[in-house]
Amino acid sequence: MNPQELSEQEQIRRASLAKMRELGIDPYPAAEYVVTGHSDEIKASFSDDAPRREVTVAGRIMTRRIMGKASFVSLQDANGRVQIYISRDEICPGEDKDMYNVVFKKLLDIGDFIGVKGYVFRTQTGEISVHAQELTVLSKSLRPLPVVKVKDGVTYDAFDDPELRYRRRYVDLVVNNGIKDIFIKRTRVYSSMREYFNAAGYVEVETPILQSIPGGASARPFITHHNALDIPLYLRIADELYLKRLIVGGFEGVYEFSKNFRNEGMDRTHNPEFTCMEIYVSYKDYNWMMTFTEQMLEKICYDVNGTTEVKVGDKVISFKAPFPRVTMTQAILDHTGIDITGMDEEQLRGVCRQLGIEVDASMGKGKLIDEIFGEKCEGKYIQPTFITDYPIEMSPLTKRHRNNPELTERFELMVNGKELANAYSELNDPIDQYERFVEQMRLSEKGDDEAMIIDGDFIRALEYGMPPTSGMGIGMDRLVMLMTGQEAIQEVLLFPQMRPEKKAEKAADDTTNEQQ
């Protein structure tokens, strides 16, 4: 960086860095620093009656109170904060007091990493602290952190601008309480789900991200180019067709946590790169999968939160199984008063006009019904509810309903007004599947850029025979949003997709520097 572009605080910190090196102190040492205690455990295990405990701690300086020959530091490690008491004569027992008078008092700053060896004690004010006997510089911070202060429950100078928080997640995690907890809970969600699948005997697998045909869902793909083969490739929009190939190959049950990519809009519930879990189990149908899914979600909610209820905004959502089951046509009838049973494409267009829903010529029956449900019904389902039995036009990979060939054996799980899971009794008739793909190509020719492409190899796999199978996909980011009570997907993604960085962010740096 050009020195002329540095703020005053950044220039001071670089001068401190140079001074440390002049004193023979490496501000970025390479040697391992062995930590024997963490803030939460140190405070939880302390007893006034126990023998004195020697500890080594390490972390970031978050606050300092310098009082002549003694000082207090708030040190933040991975688990929280602990107070450090530093006495000049304790860490500098000889004649040379530079480590305290020069390094600690003048060259160290908030945000720097230090290591402290000492013992645990309780101060006169009752705070469990570490009495430092040795101090080591571990890393010099060259940019000042925002100074967020909390007094009497009120936060001052908060680092709360969403644009900056998401773009500079590394700062967000340091200065804002509770952010790290969201991502720890995210890991617990994954662990709980894996436990559930593994206990049932299903196998976790990996399938290709780069695909020659974007299949398994209706979505607009990202396109790239493979130079060696000189062919276009697509970032996967779903892993469904590969997982079903594995069922053909003899796996009884397979699942995958997959990074998927859809070249579509961004908002509070959509990110172009997202995580989906898909599972496929032989000899099952969508009725079995509904029970399997609701029991899984009940378990996850309890494992993550210690209860089967979560609070999202002003709503309390219960994941206690079982969940209600409502057919799609019944849902539309309930919320519009219109029975769409047996309607053709033109009649459905008339319904859309009647309901004030915008449509275009590229939309077939499936898209029209999907628009009606999405506009008038989806947001009404706050508590977990299975919407079942979708019209065949909406579900090109789904088995026809055993009692009504105009419908399919499909469900979507709605929670808090959004789709969370999507599942089928999987179509395993290769002739029917081919005809469904052909119909999708007709929609593509009409201008539907989300219609599926014929996957000849997948048809070939089905021709070898796939047993009756049920599959389910669940949006992991949305699930984590629910389990952590968040209402924006960006809050549960460590690094959400952002627009190009704006010059306006320079103002945020200037504000941070003014706080120092």
Confidence band of 149 (pLDDT split at 50, 70, 90): confident
Going by C-alpha positions, the residue among 198, 377, 382, 188 that lies closest to residue 279 is: 198
pLDDT value, residue 157: 82
Confidence band of 386 (pLDDT split at 50, 70, 90): very high
Radius of gyration over alpha carbons of the chain, in Å? 29
Three-class secondary structure of residue 415 per DSSP: strand
Please provide the average confidence, as pLDDT, over all residues in the chain.
Answer: 93
Parallel, antiparallel, or unpaired: how do β-strands 469-475 and 253-261 relate?
Answer: unpaired
Q: What is the pLDDT of residues 3-42, one digit of tens each?
A: 668 999 999 999 999 999 999 999 999 999 999 999 999 9
- The tokens for 58 are 């390490």
Parallel, antiparallel, or unpaired: how do β-strands 253-261 and 203-204 relate?
Answer: parallel
Contact (CB, 8 A) for 245 and 216: no
Residue 362, pLDDT > 90, answer no
DSSP 199: H
- Span 451-469, average pLDDT: 91
Confidence band of 216 (pLDDT split at 50, 70, 90): confident
Crossing angle (nearest 10°) for helices 430-445 and 456-463 = 160
User: What CA–CA distance (Å, rounded) separates 16 from 211?
Assistant: 52
pTM: 0.90
- The tokens for 18 are 């140079």
- Span 483-489, average pLDDT: 95
Contact (CB, 8 A) for 201 and 252: yes
- Span 52-57, average pLDDT: 98
Q: How far is CA 507 from CA 7, 8, 15, 19, 504, in A?
A: 11, 14, 23, 29, 6
User: What CA–CA distance (Å, rounded) separates 98 from 105?
Assistant: 9
